[in-house]
Amino acid sequence: MSKRKLSRQQRWRVEKIQAERERRAEQRDAQESQKLAAGEYGPERPGRVIAHFGRTLDVQGEAGDTVRCHLRANLEGLVTGDRVVWRAAFDAEGRVVEGVVVARRERQNVLERPDARGQLKPVAANIDQILVVFAVEPAPHPNLIDRYLVAAEATGIAPALVLNKIDLLPDSGGELRELLARYEALGYPVVATTTSGETGLDALLARLEGRTSVFVGQSGVGKSSLIDRLLPDEALRIGALSKDSRKGTHTTTTARLYRLPAAANAELIDSPGIREFGLIHLDEQQVAEGFIEFRDLLGHCRFRDCRHRQEPGCALLEAVEQGDIHPERFASYRHIVDSLNETRSGPP
């Protein structure tokens, strides 16, 4: 909007348009309640939110059909991935033209991100795995991988690692393989891929099969390239969409759920906001719990309030000493805790 002040007449028009919009929304809610009461909608069916735009949602039914749905007045805060109960409205020929979402099923988990004011807001729900992508180039710092893993563990969603750009792996890539073996030994699934060939694509598809996944990872590791590979048609459509938004219409930053054509029951939830990951909302205890090999030891230090620095009888320090915790993972833990403390005590 321009800095010029709105004239009285302009302001009057804006207010009038706003009032008209509200009136229409109220009217629609009332009509829907009437239709629901009169049984004009079909029976209740299960569905899944694949995109949402304010009070309008795209819901995928069990048959894979997508229906534009309104939200019943008393339902709030649905996000992509939510499982819902919806009812269809039909046209004269008996075809489903639209629907209304009447209930939300309990969530298995929810991914949250801070909004502009730093408040955590749900962005997607019911996710089975977080695929942390890293690449041969830019070379991964182990601490960065750990930061992603800790953030993922805190959501309660299982993480897996994807090493991309293995076409760039030098013959002497022993160091990286060693790093991967360390995470595999901890129990994390690891898949190696490249988008410049077929290598690893089958393994990635197998990992995606039967699950709802999200990709996260540092800029430049190849997330977009991998997703383009998995969703060739969708990629074209998104390209067309963003061309429009560049003209200044509107940009959709909300998450979308995609069904992958190449794997059975494989779904992907993606948006620029989901790919980024923060740790700032975690406390020291949550960071420690994010290191899965620490979990059994937590609570076994001599002092209840042990901060695992130099306290005698620290179960973690002893495990490092005995080689049960890799020193680099422990250094990583320290680094994350220190960096969070610095950020919090730093200037606002």
Ligand X SMILES: Nc1nc2c(ncn2[C@@H]2O[C@H](COP(=O)(O)OP(=O)(O)OP(=O)(O)O)[C@@H](O)[C@H]2O)c(=O)[nH]1
Under the rule (CB under 5 A), what is the footprint of Zn ion?
Answer: 301, 306, 308, 314, 316
Q: Which option in ligand X, Zn ion, none does residue 308 bind, with CB closer than 5 to 8 A by kind?
A: Zn ion
Residues 185-214, interacting with ligand X (CB under 6 A) = 194-196
Q: Which option in ligand X, Zn ion, none does residue 332 bind, with CB closer than 5 to 8 A by kind?
A: none
Q: 80 or 225, CB closer to ligand X?
A: 225
Residue 288 identity = A
Q: Is 172 annotated as a binding residue?
A: no
Smallest Cα–Cα separation from 269: which of 315, 230, 219? 230
Please report how close the Cβ of residue 230 comes to ligand X at its closest, in angstroms.
12
Q: Under 8 Å CB-to-CB from 322, ≥6 apart: which residues?
A: none
Please report how close the Cβ of residue 283 comes to Zn ion at its closest, in angstroms.
16
Q: Is 91 annotated as a binding residue?
A: no
Q: Under 8 Å CB-to-CB from 56, ≥6 apart: which residues?
A: 68, 69, 70, 71
Q: In whole angstroms, give the CA distance from residue 159 to residue 132.
A: 7
Q: Write the binding mask 128 to 167 for ligand X: x where contact by CB under 6 A, - elsewhere.
A: ------------------------------------xx-x
Helices (H), the chain: 8-37, 142-155, 174-186, 201-208, 223-230, 232-246, 272-275, 284-289, 315-321, 327-345
Q: In whole angstroms, give the CA distance from residue 293 to residue 151.
A: 15
Q: Is 167 annotated as a binding residue?
A: yes
Q: Is 271 annotated as a binding residue?
A: no
Q: Which three-class secondary structure state does DSSP give residue 74?
A: coil
∠ CA 105-107-109, rounded to 5°: 165
Furthest C-alpha separation in the chain:
78
Q: Is 222 annotated as a binding residue?
A: yes
Q: Which option in ligand X, Zn ion, none does residue 301 bind, with CB closer than 5 to 8 A by kind?
A: Zn ion
Q: Roughly how many angstroms between the first and final C-alpha of the chain, as a whole number?
A: 29
Smallest Cα–Cα separation from 267: which of 218, 191, 214, 307? 214
Q: Write the binding mask 243 to 282 for ligand X: x where contact by CB under 6 A, - elsewhere.
A: --------------------------------x-------
Q: Contact between 225 and ligand X (CB under 6 A)?
A: yes
Smallest Cα–Cα separation from 182: which of 328, 308, 298, 287? 328
Q: Which option in Zn ion, ligand X, none does residue 220 bind, with CB closer than 5 to 8 A by kind?
A: ligand X
Q: Is 69 annotated as a binding residue?
A: no
Q: Candidates 77, 114, 156, 220: give the one binding ligand X (CB under 6 A).
A: 220
Please report how close the Cβ of residue 165 comes to ligand X at its closest, in angstroms.
4
Q: 59 or 136, CB closer to ligand X?
A: 136
Q: In whole angstroms, give the CA distance from residue 145 to residue 141.
A: 7
Q: Candidates 207, 223, 256, 308: give the one binding ligand X (CB under 6 A).
A: 223
Q: Under 8 Å CB-to-CB from 216, ≥6 apart: which residues?
A: 130, 131, 132, 133, 148, 152, 223, 274, 275, 276, 277
Q: Which option in ligand X, Zn ion, none does residue 306 bind, with CB closer than 5 to 8 A by kind?
A: Zn ion
Q: 76 or 198, CB closer to ligand X?
A: 198
Q: Which option in Zn ion, ligand X, none does residue 195 bind, with CB closer than 5 to 8 A by kind?
A: ligand X
∠ CA 306-307-311, rounded to 5°: 60
- CA–chain centroid gap for 268, Å, is 9
Please report how close the Cβ of residue 224 comes to ligand X at its closest, in angstroms.
3
Binding residues for GTP: 164-167, 217-225
Binding residues: 164-167, 217-225, 301, 306, 308, 314
Binding residues for Zn(2+): 301, 306, 308, 314
Residues within the interface to ligand X (CB under 6 A): 164-165, 167-168, 194-196, 217, 219-225, 275
